[in-house]
Amino acid sequence: MDFDTYERDLWDGRADAYQRGFAKMSGWAAGPLLDAAGVGPGSRVLDVGTGPGVVSAEAVRRGASVTAVDAEPSMAAIARANVPGLDVRLAVLPDLPLPDAEFDAVVGNFVINHIGAPDAAVREFARVLRPGGKLALTCWEMPPSGALALVTEALEEAGVAFPDDIPAAPFMDLGKRGPFAALLRDAGLTDARDAELRWTHHVDPDEWWTTGALARVGTNGVIVSRQDEPTVAKIKAAYDRLAARYATSDGRVALPANALIATGTR
């Protein structure tokens, strides 16, 4: 199975679970992303990989005119429900069914993590930007740490091996300062740069477990879903012990979220 085929299966019907859990963490980056792309009143914006529409909603709030695309029909449906009147279209990246030089800004919140050919995708993002338009993308920092690593570490502690049939993710090579900016530079964008994003995600640890690992969200969720009950219990015990490192006085956990943001100009 190639990476893009795996991604289509991974996210099939997962929109509601993603919205209830992981999107609450990744959505923090919507503001910095739109700031980096210079989005304000009257901006024509393309939100690629919109998911439940968090970035689109913030762009609309700022007075922008927004078009959104996503490959997963359930994500597109939730985005339409969350952002009334939003122009949402189905599109499997790297292909965009949109004309050249259509937008002042293209933004993608962690979408680059889910594309088998990120270089081709960034060239498409550049194609639909007007001259002088801005591209801004976020990507999880690699190797994963904090919130992104918690279930991974629990799987490792429980002795669960990474399955041979899950393809390697291309973004593992991009989640570092330097290579991420180079991706934009190689697509012909000028003033390409990347920077760190750091925040803390406060969440109930059982909620983080049930809306992620148990809801088959992401690759870790797929791996957990393949295990028998005793193994899942073993993973959960490891997860609880590891999550305790981040415990707060209110019974929640404060999970570090570590990402990168890359920007460039057409």
Distance CA 69, CA 75 (A): 9
Cβ-based burial of 265 (10 A; exposed 0-12, middle 13-18, buried ≥19): middle
- C-alpha span between 3 and 115 (Å, rounded): 8
The half-sphere exposure of 42 on its side-chain side, counting CA atoms within 13 A, is: 0
Q: How far is CA 243 from the centre of its chain?
A: 22
Name the token pair of 96.
Answer: 């965009």
Q: Walk me through the domains of the chain, giving residue ranges and CATH numbers.
A: 3-265 (3.40.50.150)
Mean pLDDT score of the chain: 95
Residues 6+ apart with CB under 8 A from 33: 55, 107, 109, 136, 137, 138, 261
> What is the distance, to the nearest Å, from the Cα of residue 209 to the centroid of all Cα atoms in its chain?
18
Nearest-CA neighbor of 259 among 14, 18, 22, 20? 22
Distances (CA, A) of 60 to 53, 64, 67, 205: 10, 5, 10, 32
174: pLDDT strictly greater than 80: no
The string of pLDDT tens digits covering residues 141-164 is 998 899 999 999 999 999 999 999
Write b or e for each residue in 53-90: b if 16 or more Cβ atoms lie within 10 A of its Cβ, otherwise e. bbbbbbbbebebebbbbbbbebbbebbbebbeebebee
pLDDT bucket at 215, cuts 50 / 70 / 90: confident
pLDDT tens-digit map of 60-118 = 999 999 999 999 999 999 999 999 999 999 999 999 999 999 999 999 999 999 999 99
> Structure pTM?
0.95
Question: Cα separation of 5 and 3, whole Å?
Answer: 6
